[in-house]
Amino acid sequence: MSRSTLLLIVIIGLLAALSSWLSREKEIEGLLAVRPKQHIPDYYITGFNAAAYTAAGIPRYRLSAENMTHFADDNSTQLLHPHLAFLNEKGETWQLDAGRGQVDTTEDTLLLTETVTVRRAGAAVEPVELKTGEITVHPNKQTATTRSPITITAPNTRIEASGLDAYFTEERLVLYSVRGRYEP
């Protein structure tokens, strides 16, 4: 066998090996591309507590939850038994509690679900309690909205509505399709 024939056989062998290796790399790359992202937590906190302040250092709200779980695949955060308290110079004004919460950091919203209760707190005001199935809260604006049915109770008063827009700093609730009862 001549030297040139041997060199040709070695080159063909190397090309075959290279072709086989590239084929395997493409298969592996294809498998990785098809694999769906898994929605698994990247971290969690038990006994979660956070607070937000104005530029002047005045507390705006406190958010706490039994558990907070973050998911890296979609940057979502889920809360178990969240409690949100809006604050003013005199202390707490409105408190919101729910079975679950979902934080959307891109829109600065908190979706509260599973038996949501909203209470007006403070000794100087008449107590008000609102119940609904879900409500979307904008903590930095201190507003909330829902189109789910709501029930508001206060001393001698019961109001039912098909939705609401709440402006907590103004102590103003805008109700939709209202039915109410007042008993002096």
Whole-prediction pTM: 0.75
3: β partners? none
Q: In the chain, what's the furthest Cα-to-Cα distance? A: 114
More confident residue, 31 or 73: 73
State how beta strands 91-97 and 150-154 pair.
unpaired
pLDDT tens-digit series, residues 60-113: 899 999 999 998 888 889 999 999 998 876 766 899 999 999 998 777 899 999
pLDDT the model gives residue 45: 94
Q: How many CB atoms lie within 10 A of CB 71?
A: 17
Interval 41-66 mean pLDDT? 90
56: β partners? none
> Residue type at 137?
V
More confident residue, 160 or 92: 160
The DSSP call for residue 168 is G
What tokens were used for 124? 């100087």
Range in 25-34, 49-58, 77-86, 170-179 the model is least confident about? 25-34
pLDDT the model gives residue 50: 92
Interval 26-37 mean pLDDT? 64
Annotated domain spans of the chain = 1-35, 41-182
41: β partners? 71
Q: Please state which CATH number belongs to domain 41-182.
A: 2.60.450.10
State how beta strands 76-80 and 179-182 pair.
unpaired
pLDDT tens-digit series, residues 3-25: 667 666 767 776 677 677 767 77
The three-class DSSP label of residue 109 is strand
What tokens were used for 134? 């879900």
